[in-house]
């Protein structure tokens, strides 16, 4: 995984960013606990996401349960289609993702898109061995493995449920009410930040591929015929794009295009996706993802999820590889259509026409007084089927001689036309029920936390000593300021403790530290990414000023105590640069 990754994983555990959970019982693969600094960093990133993707965009946030009944996933397609390719070692019993083994051992980059039998042949052809014990996997079968965790709702096993594999379903199933809250007006967006669960075959790379993780998702519901985004705010933003056309070339390259160019040249088909790539790039940059290690890659057709018509991923280079941080999918009407079909609720929205229109509608008015005696208990079902036929295939009535044929549960009925009362009627309609389409930016928070940490990891030399530090953006750093007394004597510690208390009361995240040499205290804060440290010294007792030290440059400046909380808040919020105080 690389030297930086190893150092970061060690630092993460030692300084409480993240660690494998249930360690006292040997640990469980794919489950991680965020320690105090990691939990705060994660929360800061989630809040920055909310700020940009919910509040600034004017969307609502929901908080749905993580366990959902089986029916939901039967409708969504996850029960049938949410599989990865499993191969099990015959010798040691270890399980692996067959597509990952192919990618690790051949030049093939996207084995996920290949059919099972081809993957099985490739394992044999390349004589791939079990990474755990070295035994040949050549004769082993490759099977689909469903990634959902199953449970039972209540006692007994009659009511199966699943831990949601994506937060999105918690939004889709509530659409009938969510559309009311949005007063039936498209477009509208609903966000959710919450846990998702996938029983990954081989969790790996610390918090990059885990079995329980946090997603931040936005489901934007649009009328595909009417709605388009206002791209002006991001039109000139340059995106690093790796489209399918480039991936398919031998020497394919990442290409740079502005959002507007990418739309005009047809590189990104949906302007909505282009818009979200634009604001996402700005957001990733604002939280400290290095833009030299960042790109948007389009999914190859075999790689797309079962619901996606087009999809782009935001990827960052970390752990020695390109990692998918978020996906931007055009889900079409797939989800709402499926829930409309499988549930008892309406997942359509009423779209009012500008002017009422007059249309000719085929109708039937089955004569039950005739159908009843002729077909007995089947008459009602026949009448329903006649109405369905009127909507789906009215020509059967127009081409029929004197009876229409109706099939119900493999039984055929000949219904005399005279009892059907088929006619074409003129109707005035003020609108129609449509299924909105969905645009979905979906972010994996754990991977973003990891990337922000790895991209922030730095080493340098300060005062002839080797230093490692995290150059975290002040907006997301777990602690904004460390406060120290130069010495724990002559009242310096009391003043420093009061300063820390006051800064906390003003809403800053503060660490107070009086133990050890001042240099050691700076290093401790540098290592957890605290951007500023304030030191109370003897001059403070004379003139009520303190030093503020900046982490990356280690430069220091004196500032009056009275202005301290304002200065630090402005530094944190990006409204003031440290160099601007130095130069004052
Ligand atoms: N609702 C769409 C959806 O779930 P996805 O691409 O499967 O799309 C979205 O997941 C994001 O969730 C990914 O881009 C990734 O960052 C994160 N993610 C997916 N599986 C993960 C795992 N096993 N561990 C950590 N993060 C994961």
Q: Say how far apart CA 448 and CA 294 lie, in whole Å.
A: 12
Q: What is the pLDDT of residue 310?
A: 84
Q: Which residues of the chain have pLDDT under 70?
A: 1, 582-584
Residue whose CA is at the smallest distance from ligand 1 atom 26: 444
Residue whose CA is at the smallest distance from ligand 1 atom 12: 444
Pocket test of ligand 1: the residue of 324, 445, 446 to mutate, having most ligand atoms within 8 Å of its CB, is 324
Closest listed residue to residue 138, CA positions, set 125, 124, 120, 126:
124
Residue 159: helix, strand or coil by DSSP? Answer: coil
Which element (helix H / strand E) includes 550? strand 545-550
- Which ligand 1 atom lies nearest to the CA of residue 210? 24
Burial-class residue 515 by CB neighbours within 10 Å (0-12, 13-18, 19+).
exposed
- Which ligand 1 atom lies nearest to the CA of residue 329? 2
Closest listed residue to residue 185, CA positions, set 150, 154, 221:
221
Residue whose CA is at the smallest distance from ligand 1 atom 21: 209
| Tokens, residue 227 | 């709605």
Which element (helix H / strand E) includes 346? none
Show the DSSP H helices in 21-167 as ranges: 36-49, 70-76, 78-81, 98-105, 116-125
Quote the DSSP letter at residue 233.
Answer: G
Residue whose CA is at the smallest distance from ligand 1 atom 22: 209
Q: Say how far apart CA 532 and CA 578 lie, in whole Å.
A: 9
Q: What is the pLDDT of residue 549?
A: 98
Q: Are 364 and 105 in contact (CB under 8 A)?
A: no
Q: Are 404 and 396 in contact (CB under 8 A)?
A: yes
Residue whose CA is at the smallest distance from ligand 1 atom 5: 327
| Tokens, residue 39 | 């939990």
- Which ligand 1 atom lies nearest to the CA of residue 198? 23
Pocket test of ligand 1: the residue of 194, 309, 442 to mutate, having most ligand atoms within 8 Å of its CB, is 442
Q: What is the pTM of this model?
A: 0.90
Pocket test of ligand 1: the residue of 215, 218, 276, 304 to mutate, having most ligand atoms within 8 Å of its CB, is 215
Residue whose CA is at the smallest distance from ligand 1 atom 19: 444
For ligand 1, residues with CB inside 6 Å are 166, 168, 198, 200, 209-210, 213, 215, 217, 324-327, 440, 442, 444, 446-447
CA of 28 to the centre of ligand 1 (A): 20
Buried b (16+ CB within 10 A) or exposed e, 182-196: beeebbbbbbbbbeb
Q: What is the pLDDT of residue 584?
A: 47
CA of 205 to the centre of ligand 1 (A): 14
CA of 198 to the centre of ligand 1 (A): 9
CA of 443 to the centre of ligand 1 (A): 7
Closest listed residue to residue 222, CA positions, set 187, 178, 194, 198:
187
Pocket test of ligand 1: the residue of 308, 327, 329 to mutate, having most ligand atoms within 8 Å of its CB, is 327
- Cα distances (Å, whole numbers) of residue 6 to 22, 271, 319, 444, 450: 21, 40, 9, 22, 12
Q: Report phi then psi at 173, rounded to 5.
A: -65, -20
CA of 283 to the centre of ligand 1 (A): 18
Residue whose CA is at the smallest distance from ligand 1 atom 20: 209
Q: Say how far apart CA 366 and CA 164 lie, in whole Å.
A: 45
Q: Are 494 and 483 in contact (CB under 8 A)?
A: no
Q: What is the pLDDT of residue 199?
A: 97
Closest listed residue to residue 110, CA positions, set 254, 332, 256, 322:
322
Longest dimension (CA), the chain: 109
Residue whose CA is at the smallest distance from ligand 1 atom 25: 209
Q: 205 in the Ramachandran plot: left (φ > 0), alpha (ψ -120 to 50) or beta?
A: left
Which element (helix H / strand E) includes 358? strand 349-363
Buried b (16+ CB within 10 A) or exposed e, 19-42: bbbeeeeeeeebebebbebbbbbb
Q: What angle do CA 45, 51, 53 make, to 5 degrees?
A: 95
Q: Are strands 188-197 and 83-88 parallel, antiparallel or unpaired?
A: unpaired
Beta bridge mates, 414: 405
- Which ligand 1 atom lies nearest to the CA of residue 314? 14
- Cα distances (Å, whole numbers) of residue 222 to 189, 227, 331, 563, 584: 9, 6, 11, 48, 50
Please name the residue that has the structure tokens 């693969």.
29
CA of 178 to the centre of ligand 1 (A): 24
Cβ neighbours of 392 (radius 10 Å): 8
Q: Are 116 and 144 in contact (CB under 8 A)?
A: yes
Q: What is the pLDDT of residue 475?
A: 96
pLDDT tens string 243-298: 999 999 989 999 999 999 999 999 999 999 999 999 999 999 999 999 999 999 99
β-sheet with 95-97: strand ranges across: 95-97, 83-88, 142-146
Pocket test of ligand 1: the residue of 444, 445, 447 to mutate, having most ligand atoms within 8 Å of its CB, is 444
CA dihedral 284, 206, 531, 484 (to 10 degrees): 160
Closest listed residue to residue 125, CA positions, set 109, 144, 145, 101:
101
Q: What is the pLDDT of residue 582?
A: 64
Q: Say how far apart CA 437 and CA 225 lie, in whole Å.
A: 10
Please name the residue that has the structure tokens 């989800």.
335
Q: What is the pLDDT of residue 511?
A: 98
CA of 374 to the centre of ligand 1 (A): 58
CA of 192 to the centre of ligand 1 (A): 14
* Distance from chain centroid for Cα 435: 23
- Which ligand 1 atom lies nearest to the CA of residue 167? 1
| Positive/negative CA dihedral, 13, 18, 23, 29 | negative
- Cα distances (Å, whole numbers) of residue 65 to 171, 443, 445: 10, 19, 18
């Amino acid at each position: 995984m690389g030297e930086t990754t190893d150092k970061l994983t060690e630092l993460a555990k030692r300084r409480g960013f993240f660690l494998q959970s249930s360690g006292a019982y040997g640990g469980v693969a794919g489950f991680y606990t965020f320690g105090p600094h990691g939990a705060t960093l994660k929360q800061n990133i989630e809040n920055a996401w909310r700020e940009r993707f919910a509040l600034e965009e004017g969307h609502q946030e929901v908080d749905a349960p993580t366990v959902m009944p089986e029916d939901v996933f039967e409708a969504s397609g996850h029960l049938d289609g949410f599989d990865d390719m499993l191969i099990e070692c015959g010798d040691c019993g270890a399980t692996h993702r067959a597509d990952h083994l192919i990618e690790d051992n051949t030049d093939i980059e996207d084995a996920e898109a290949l059919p099972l039998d081809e993957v099985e042949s490739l394992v044999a052809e390349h004589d791939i061995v079990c990474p755990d014990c070295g035994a040949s996997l050549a004769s082993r079968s490759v099977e689909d493995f469903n990634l959902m965790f199953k449970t039972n709702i209540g006692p007994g096993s009659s009511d199966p449920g699943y831990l949601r594999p994506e937060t999105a379903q918690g939004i889709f199933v509530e659409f009938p009410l969510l559309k009311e809250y949005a007063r039936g007006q498209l477009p509208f967006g609903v966000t959710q930040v919450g846990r998702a669960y996938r029983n990954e075959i081989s969790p790996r790379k610390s918090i990059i591929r885990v079995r329980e993780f946090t997603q931040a998702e936005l489901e934007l519901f649009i009328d595909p015929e009417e709605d388009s985004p206002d791209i002006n705010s991001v039109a000139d933003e340059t995106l690093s794009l790796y489209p399918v056309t480039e991936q398919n070339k031998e020497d394919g390259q990442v290409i740079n295009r502005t959002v507007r160019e990418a739309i005009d040249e047809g590189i990104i088909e949906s302007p909505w996706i282009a818009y979200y790539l634009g604001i996402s790039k700005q957001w990733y940059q604002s939280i400290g993802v290095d833009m030299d290690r960042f790109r948007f890659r389009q999914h190859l057709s075999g790689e797309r999820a079962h619901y996606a018509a087009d999809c782009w991923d935001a990827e960052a280079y970390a752990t020695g590889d390109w990692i998918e941080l978020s996906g931007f999918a055009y889900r079409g009407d797939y989800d709402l259509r499926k829930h409309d079909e499988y549930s008892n609720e309406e997942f359509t929205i009423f779209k009012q026409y500008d002017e009422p229109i007059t249309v000719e509608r085929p109708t039937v008015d089955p004569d039950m007084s005739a159908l009843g005696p002729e077909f007995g208990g089947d008459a009602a079902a026949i009448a329903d089927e006649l109405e369905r036929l009127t909507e789906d295939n009215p020509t059967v009535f127009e081409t029929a001689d004197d009876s229409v044929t109706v099939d119900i549960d493999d039984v055929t009925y000949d219904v005399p036309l005279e009892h059907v009362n088929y006619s074409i009627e003129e109707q005035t309609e003020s609108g129609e029920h449509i299924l909105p389409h969905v645009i979905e930016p979906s972010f994996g928070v754990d991977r973003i936390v990891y990337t922000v940490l790895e991209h922030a990891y730095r080493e340098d030399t300060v005062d002839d000593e080797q230093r490692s530090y995290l150059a975290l953006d002040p907006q997301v750093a777990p602690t904004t300021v460390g406060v120290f007394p130069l010495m724990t004597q002559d009242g310096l510690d009391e003043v420093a403790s009061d300063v820390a208390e006051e800064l906390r009361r003003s809403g800053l995240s503060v660490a107070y530290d009086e133990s050890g040499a001042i240099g050691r205290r700076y290093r401790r804060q540098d290592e957890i990414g605290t951007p500023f440290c304030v030191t109370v010294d003897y001059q403070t007792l004379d003139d009520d000023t303190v030093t503020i030290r900046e982490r990356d440059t280690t430069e220091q400046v004196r500032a009056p105590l009275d202005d301290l909380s304002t200065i630090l808040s402005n530094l944190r919020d990006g409204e003031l640069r440290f160099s601007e105080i130095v130069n004052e």
